[in-house]
Amino acid sequence: MLLLYSGLVCCYCMGMEINDVLKLAYELKDALRHDERVLSLTRIEREMNADMTVIALANHMQERGAFFASLREEDEEYQPAQKRLHLAKLALDENELVKRYHAAYKEVRLMYASIQEKIFTPFNIHFCGDIS
C-alpha cells in the first residue's frame, strides 16, 4: 500500500494529476477483470473447486501435511510421512484439471509481473524530494 501511495505521489510530482492516475488505475483494474487469461483462470478454479476428485486429493494432501507437520525430524515416522506427503502432492499435481489450473495461473502471474515491472520500475530511480 505504501509503495502504491509513493508511486501515486511520484506521478503527481512528475506532472500527472492524482485524478488522472486514479482513472488510469481503475481502467487497468477493469481491463484485468475482463482479460481472457484471468477469466479462464477463474473458470478453471471454479471447475477445480467443484470436482470431487480434486477435493479428495487436496483433502488427502492436507491430512498428510498436518500429520507430517506434527512430527519432529528425530521421529521414526518422519521419513515415511514425508514420502507419503510427497506422493499425495504428486497425485494432486498430476490431476489434469490441476495441471490446467497451474498453466492458467502461470500465464496470469507472468502478466501481473510484467504489469508490476512496467508500472513501478520507473519509480525505483525517481524520488520526489528528500527521502531521508
Which tens digit of pLDDT belongs to each residue from 80-111?
Answer: 999 999 999 999 999 999 999 999 999 999 99
Question: Which residues, including other chains, have CB under 8 Å from residue 8's CB and lie 6 or more apart?
Answer: 18, 21, 22
Q: Can you give the pLDDT of all 132 residues of the chain as single tens digits?
A: 334 444 444 554 556 677 877 888 888 888 889 999 999 999 999 999 999 999 999 999 999 999 999 999 999 999 999 999 999 999 999 999 999 999 999 999 999 998 888 877 766 655 555 555
Instruction: Give yes or no for a contact between 92 and 57, defined as CB atoms under 8 angstroms apart.
Output: yes
Cell numbers linked to 88: 499425495
Long-range (24+ apart) CB contacts under 8 A made by 116-121 are: 119/7, 120/3, 120/7
Position 8 scores a pLDDT of: 46
Instruction: Give yes or no for a contact between 41 and 111, defined as CB atoms under 8 angstroms apart.
Output: no
What is the rounded CA–CA span in Å between residue 14 and residue 23? 16
Instruction: Give yes or no for a contact between 92 and 58, defined as CB atoms under 8 angstroms apart.
Output: yes
Cell numbers linked to 54: 480434486
Q: Name the 3-class secondary structure at 70.
A: coil
